[in-house]
Structure 1
Amino acid sequence: MSQDFDAAASRQAERLALTFLDRVWQPPHDLDAIDELMTEDYVITSGGQTIRGREAFKAWVKAFQGLLLDARTDNQDVFASPSGDRVVSRWLCSGRNNGMLGTPADGRPIAFSGVAIWTVRDGRLAECWVERSAWELYQQLSSPE
């Protein structure tokens, strides 16, 4: 099955993912940007959990950012499918531990990498699958400072 190449749609999907990372996952964490960038029925699967709907996603992001103070996610690489209906970002997330993975909130700096794969529909992010280096993060948090 071949996909038609649409350079403009592919670039637009990449910009959409980067805009999401910049506005939502960089200070000052503009959670209202989710209304602009995600479909109303947005679905994300991350850490074995599926969150459905924009409002539920906003609450999940807010809770996550509460566990990772000064959270920031920096894109390392982004690319989209030829048709622009899928976009992938490899990123690095960092901040200060405030109870990540059930560990004591010790405020120490932490960082972990991950990959997000989104489906793009009608110019918005519609669905996402996230894989992050949770085991490595847990080891980091479990070791003495």
Structure 2
Amino acid sequence: MKTEEEKFVYDFWMQVWDRQLLTKIPNFIAPNFIIHSAGKDVLGIDAFSKWVANFQSKIGELRFIVHDIFSSEAKVVSRWQITGQNKGFMNTDKNLRPVDLSGITISVVREGKIVEKWIERSAWELYHRLES
């Protein structure tokens, strides 16, 4: 049985990432939201929306798959995978090679909104596959 927080984060993944409904971001993200990804912090809904749009624009036919999701208190851990075609991801050539990126995200949910996320992903490995 999934907790309310797990269901909420799963819905976020499906609506914002898999269906790419960026207008839904404010339904899930707190105004003071912060995401920590690849040594960079993205602050607030507007900056996050731009970050997601840029990311998604670099992967054609993007599919987002949640393999595992579980929680401890207000932290929800997701193990996920993105597949698609390379349209310049990580400043590589737009060669339409297959994209297969996996990651783990920890999301903090408070008062019905995601307030913070930490992401670790297989970007280094993907970069080398796209460049070779």
Instruction: Please say whether Structure 1 and Structure 2 have the same fold, judged by a TM-score greater than 0.5.
Output: yes
Post-superposition CA distance 1:19-51 (Å, at most 9, x none):
011001113x11111110110111111122110
Unaligned runs of 5+ in 1: 1-6
Q: What is the aligned partner in structure 2 of residue 101 from structure 1?
A: 90
In terms of fraction of residues, the more strand-rich structure is 2
Unaligned runs of 5+ in 2: none
Q: What TM-score, normalized to structure 2?
A: 0.95
Q: Distance in 2 between matches of 1:20 and 1:140?
A: 29
Shift of 1:140: 1.1
1:89 match: secondary structure: strand
Q: What is the aligned partner in structure 2 of residue 131 from structure 1?
A: 120
Higher Rg of the two aligned structures? 1
Shift of 1:136: 1.1
Between the two proteins, the alignment pairs up a number of residues equal to: 132
2:96 match: secondary structure: coil
Q: What TM-score, normalized to structure 1?
A: 0.86
Letter in 2 for 1:15: K
Identical amino acids, percent of aligned pairs: 37
